[in-house]
Structure 1
Amino acid sequence: MTAKIAYDDVEVGTELPGRTFPVTRATLVQYAGASGDFNPIHWNEKFAKEVGLPDVIAHGMFTMAEAIRVVTDWAGDPGAVVQYGVRFTKPVVVPNDDKGARIDVVGKVAAKLDDHTVRIDLTALCEGQKVLGRSQALVRLA
């Protein structure tokens, strides 16, 4: 599959529209049900603190999935993403309140490669702290 965006219309430095993703404890329960990952660090505050975490944390794969949405929304076709990888640098701590946490994600075209592919570099922050490092996606454009 290829994106709906033309390769020739994109320049290095093009910024993708950023997004903010809210994360609540309810979100984590829903994700656990969908993914089958019921590790208590994602829902049990007492357990999370006993293992040295500051509180319940979001699933790393959930954080990763939310971040790539910036790319798939921009590209117009999730199938245009041909490669995606991140390093988990800091957990997304999700307090037990009405607000929860927020993951702020921005992206930028970092390189134009051969065969109509671009590399997108993503920055994902929670409370001003980078939660994903080396977050990069390769996207095949039209």
Structure 2
Amino acid sequence: MTPSFTDVTIGQALGSRTIGVTRQDLVKYAGASGDFNPIHWNESFATGVGLPGVIAHGMFTMGAAVQLVTDWAGDPAAIVDFQTRFTKPVPVTDTTGTDEPGASIEVTGAVGALDEDAKTARVDLTVVSGGQKVLMKAQAVVRLG
């Protein structure tokens, strides 16, 4: 259930989550999105173009981050806008054969602004991997009940 506008305050925390990412996740995402750029699955190609190794798709990272907002809103259709700037790649090491993720994405969120006329909240996300912010100005606008 989408939160009520009257129950939401600026600064209210949405919580946090850590998303483990594996190379298998990247292959699945490539199939779903049609983005088969070899920087997302081929180690030698990725390092050959100057990357630290295979990196997660930017849109994968963005989608993983906004899930925190979707869960809080209770309805994906309540999110009317989501924007961000990609600042750092998310390197995903090969952990095939283990139960460990190759990278972790840490997401925290808080209400940054309220628009009484539109009955919306702007949710500001902090998205970090490997100790570095990988998305900047990650903001979702949510229509509240």
Output the TM-score relative to the length of structure 1: 0.96
Alpha-carbon distance, 1:128 to partner: 1.3
Which letter maps to 2:57?
H
| Structural mapping, 1:1-142, within 5 Å | 4-97=2-95, 98=98, 99=100, 100-113=102-115, 114-142=117-145
Q: How many Å separate the matches in 2 of 1:66 and 1:4?
A: 20
Q: How many Å separate the matches in 2 of 1:127 and 1:57?
A: 12
Q: Is the 8 A contact 2:123 2:139 kept in 1?
A: yes
Alpha-carbon distance, 1:56 to partner: 0.1
Alpha-carbon distance, 1:4 to partner: 1.7
Q: How many Å separate the matches in 1 of 2:143 and 2:131?
A: 31
5+ long unaligned stretches in structure 1 = none
Q: Is the 8 A contact 2:15 2:110 kept in 1?
A: no
Provide the alpha-carbon RMSD of the alignment: 0.8
Q: How many Å separate the matches in 1 of 2:143 and 2:77?
A: 9
Alpha-carbon distance, 1:116 to partner: 0.8
Alpha-carbon distance, 1:140 to partner: 0.4
Q: How many Å separate the matches in 1 of 2:52 and 2:70?
A: 32
State the percentage of identical aligned residues. 59
Alpha-carbon distance, 1:101 to partner: 0.3
User: Once superposed, which parts of structure 1, at least 4 consecutive aligned residues long, lie more than 6 Å away?
Assistant: none
Q: How many Å separate the matches in 1 of 2:30 and 2:69?
A: 24
Q: How many Å separate the matches in 2 of 1:6 and 1:48?
A: 46
Deviations 1:9-63 (A, max 9, x none): 0000000021111100000001001111100000000000000000000000000
